[in-house]
Structure 1
Amino acid sequence: MVKIAAIQMQSKPNLGEENTTKAISMITEAASKGAKLIVLPELWISGYYLSREEFDVFGEKPLGKTISLFQKIAKELNVVLVVPFVEEEGENIYIASAVIENNGELLTSYRKSFLWGREKNVFTPGERNYNVIPTSVGNIGVLICADIEFPEPSRILALQGTQLIICPSVWSIPAESRWDIQLPARALDNTVYVLGVNTVHEGSCGKSKLVAPNGKVLVESPRDEEHILLYDMDLSLIRKTRFDVPYLDDLDRNLIPKSTPAINY
């Protein structure tokens, strides 16, 4: 059993310090309630509807001030943190997410690979490399927002032994029905847990949720409130679901690139 926490918060545009203070407060509260894996939403520090020039202000290296701060917090609270940030490299900026172990080690940084709408005028897409991340709370994979709308990244992660796919997002109200469809679909397709972590207000639909490997929504946040979603995730349910629903066992292996690692669950 692993207690997870999704931090559903309002990201106030351009108010990085205020957003950071709130994020730390909510993370600390989640940890005090026993959470061992805590996830922030996409672009939580900056807000979403900004210009390229405004996003440039928030750009930093993976070991910049924001991630360095949360490395200290992860160690102090003994929790694994998934912290999205605006990553800069040369003249490019990316929507990225850092995964920090409970000892403060930066395990990896993932760049969003499928940009949506206006994002294409601001950000550079990351390379489409999807890799399982072994952590002290299990094998996780990170996809960001629109990445979860494509079946292939989730399948690649599942075939590498990912137990939980984490999807930090800024998911809009007009696209709410897709949020409700895509997360359960990716979970059931691959018989893995999926955790969608959304912002709220500013045009977002909220409804952060944890979906079981059988596609059932186990817990969901409100549409219009800041909320700390908490749940004791039973990883043994993956093996049980795969016995009942053997999608991956029955998959035509001829369709899988030979370079894909064998599944390990």
Structure 2
Amino acid sequence: MKTTLTVSAVQQPCNQDRQTNFDFSVAKIHEAAANNADLVVLPELHLDPYFCQNEDYRHFDLAQPIPGPTTEILSGLAKKLGVVIVSTLFEKRSAGLYHNTAVVFDKDGSLAGKYRKMHIPDDPGFYEKYYFTPGDIGFKPIETSIGKLGVLICWDQWFPEGARLMALAGAEMLIYPTAIGWNPEDTDDEHQRQLNAWITIQRSHAIANGVPVIACNRIGFEKAPDSDAGIYFWGNSFIAGPQGEILTSANDSESALLTCTIDKARSERVRQIWPYLRDRRIDEYGNLIRRYID
């Protein structure tokens, strides 16, 4: 198994029709493969505009089974190009049962595994609880030919528990496909605070667990259905090393293919000199399973 990996994250707009969005994703996968990428990560729900801005039962028609038409194409791409691909899809598990699901394809085209989003938000403009059932697979890394990938999704990125559990189960990097943005009515100062918090929390997961983090967001304004409101997806995708250092990053408005090298041996060395896992007081953490301590 390789110890030095070339990894890529696709920052793209997703505000067009499904075919246009998917064609963009596929073109970037080809570009990453031409740059000898071992891994390509796509943004959360990259096939469609962000439909969770309102509650409309007609949006359930966007869901598809796994395996299904999109996974068939991605599987073929992974095999043809010899890359590991991480994609996030609106999964139809059964009538009335849907998930926000990441799928991982190995270099041979096989479905290495999937992860169903565990933390489901329900905020103005992000009405995901209407559409998605919370994940039931747990925080389990996905074994691939390039190592164990700890894949989580968007709102998951704010919770240190998920990142820690992935690391404890052997994840060698944390991957966060994302669809997050600003309310245009908020002030510029508030926009900056939100962005800084988003970057900081994910860099902290890298530091606290001694593993690289890939955060892959979409860009562009997406108008809410039947409204003048909408979300400006803030991009700023980045890849950080095991000490939280930024290896490569994008801005808030441009399409980008972020590519850099990750040295897994360095991650091991960082864990040796910063042994957080060794010094955890697991005998005193029992209250973490409680909602609140009165």
Interval containing the TM-score (normalised by the shorter chain): over 0.9
- Aligned AA for 1:59? A
- Pairs within 5 Å for 1:245-260: 245-255=274-284
* CA–CA separation in structure 2 for the residues paired with 1:39 and 1:219: 14
1:135–1:75 distance in 2 versus 1, CA, 3 Å: same
- State whether residues 62 and 109 of structure 1, in contact with CA within 8 Å, keep that contact through their aligned partners in structure 2: no
Of residues 153, 166, 181, the one that matches 2:162 is 153
- Aligned AA for 1:188? I
1:165 aligns with 2:170: no
Q: Does the residue aligned with 1:120 lie in a helix, a strand or coil?
A: helix
Q: Does the residue aligned with 1:75 lie in a helix, a strand or coil?
A: helix
Which residue of the partner structure matches residue 16 of structure 1? 18
- State whether residues 171 and 179 of structure 1, in contact with CA within 8 Å, keep that contact through their aligned partners in structure 2: no
- Aligned AA for 2:11? Q
Superposition TM-score, scaled by structure 2 size: 0.83
Deviation (angstroms), 1:178: 2.2
- Judge which range, 42-51 or 202-211, deviates more: 42-51
Of residues 257, 266, 270, the one that matches 1:237 is 266
Which residue of the partner structure matches residue 118 of structure 2? 113
Deviation (angstroms), 1:255: 4.9
Of residues 154, 176, 180, the one that matches 2:199 is 180
- State whether residues 113 and 127 of structure 1, in contact with CA within 8 Å, keep that contact through their aligned partners in structure 2: yes
* CA–CA separation in structure 2 for the residues paired with 1:84 and 1:255: 36
Q: Percent of counterpart pairs with the same letter?
A: 29
1:86 aligns with 2:95: no
Of residues 115, 129, 152, the one that matches 1:143 is 152
Of residues 42, 59, 62, the one that matches 1:58 is 62
- State whether residues 115 and 137 of structure 2, in contact with CA within 8 Å, keep that contact through their aligned partners in structure 1: no
* CA–CA separation in structure 2 for the residues paired with 1:55 and 1:19: 17
Q: Does the residue aligned with 1:156 lie in a helix, a strand or coil?
A: helix
Which residue of the partner structure matches residue 35 of structure 1? 37
Superposition TM-score, scaled by structure 1 size: 0.92
* CA–CA separation in structure 2 for the residues paired with 1:88 and 1:6: 26
Deviation per residue, 1:29-54 (Å, 9 max, x gap): 11101111001000110121455435
- Aligned AA for 2:212? Y
| RMSD between superposed Cα atoms in Å | 1.5
- State whether residues 52 and 122 of structure 1, in contact with CA within 8 Å, keep that contact through their aligned partners in structure 2: no
5+ residue gaps, structure 1, are 258-265
Which residue of the partner structure matches residue 2 of structure 1? 5
User: Larger Cα Rg: Structure 1 or Structure 2?
Assistant: 2
5+ residue gaps, structure 2, are 183-190, 222-231, 287-294
Deviation (angstroms), 1:177: 2.2
Aligned length, in residue pairs = 256
